[in-house]
């Protein structure tokens, strides 16, 4: 089964806020699940794919890989809960994800617990959206300010606006071309 859907935009107003631009996952019996994400913040875009024990694990690992330079590591997943909000096959599920910063994050960046919540009929979509929201909560802290720009790559920028003398696209080559 392959699922692909554009993600809903977060309510962020600053260029530094994360936006899950799109995601895709594949799964099946006797195969390892694969997930891929494209995450944007202002003029920056990060994308990655990963394998996991299921579609949610694969997508969380893809988010971790995409944002590794922004977070200087992988966030620690503290809890993952799914609850039905009604009865029946058409019921929506509410996903709550709690994360902590990477254990080796420097100084104040290593502390705190952050929660993301998303709701929808597609539990996989709600799961990755809640995970991104939890990371967004973490990046919203004062001691994380500037992290997306510091690890930026200008891939989401307008072609003309992205022509900066201090930016060398060869520094961070794009190895995930299967999206195009």
12-26 pLDDT per residue, tens: 334 568 889 999 999
Q: CA-CA distance, 32 to 55, in Å (whole number)?
A: 9
Are 120 and 126 in contact by the 8 Å Cβ rule? The answer is yes
Q: What is the CATH number of domain 2-157?
A: 3.30.160.270
Are 60 and 34 in contact by the 8 Å Cβ rule? The answer is no
**Residue 82, beta-bridge partner list:** 95
107-124 pLDDT per residue, tens: 888 889 999 999 999 999
In whole angstroms, how far apart are CA 85 and each of 82, 88, 149, 180?
A: 10, 10, 38, 37
Domain boundaries of the chain, sorted by first residue: 2-157
Q: 138: which 2 tokens?
A: 């973490």
Helix, strand, coil percent content, the chain, rounded in steps of 5: 30, 30, 40
Are 16 and 42 in contact by the 8 Å Cβ rule? The answer is yes
In whole angstroms, how far apart are CA 84 and each of 35, 92, 134?
A: 24, 6, 20
Q: What is the pLDDT along the chain (180 residues), one digit of tens a residue?
A: 444 444 443 333 345 688 899 999 999 998 999 999 999 988 889 999 999 999 999 999 999 999 998 888 899 999 999 999 989 888 999 999 999 999 888 888 888 999 999 999 999 999 999 999 999 999 888 888 888 777 777 776 664 454 555 555 555 554 444 443
């Amino acid at each position: 089964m392959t699922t692909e859907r554009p993600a809903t935009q977060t309510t962020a107003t600053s260029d530094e806020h994360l936006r899950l631009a799109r995601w895709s996952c594949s799964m099946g019996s006797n195969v390892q699940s694969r997930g891929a994400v494209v995450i944007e913040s202002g003029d920056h875009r990060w994308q990655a794919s990963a394998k996991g024990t299921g579609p949610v694990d694969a997508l969380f690992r893809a988010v971790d890989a995409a944002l590794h330079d922004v977070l200087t590591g992988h966030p620690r997943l503290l809890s993952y809960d799914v609850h039905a909000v009604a009865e029946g096959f058409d019921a929506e599920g509410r996903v709550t994800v709690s994360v902590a910063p990477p254990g080796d994050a420097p100084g104040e960046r290593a502390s705190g617990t952050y929660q993301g919540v998303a709701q929808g009929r597609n539990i996989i979509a709600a799961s990755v959206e809640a995970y991104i929201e939890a990371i967004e909560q973490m990046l919203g802290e004062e001691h994380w300010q500037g992290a997306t720009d510091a690890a930026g790559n200008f891939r989401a920028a307008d072609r003309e606006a992205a022509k900066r003398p201090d930016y060398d696209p060869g520094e961070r080559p794009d190895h995930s071309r299967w999206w195009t």
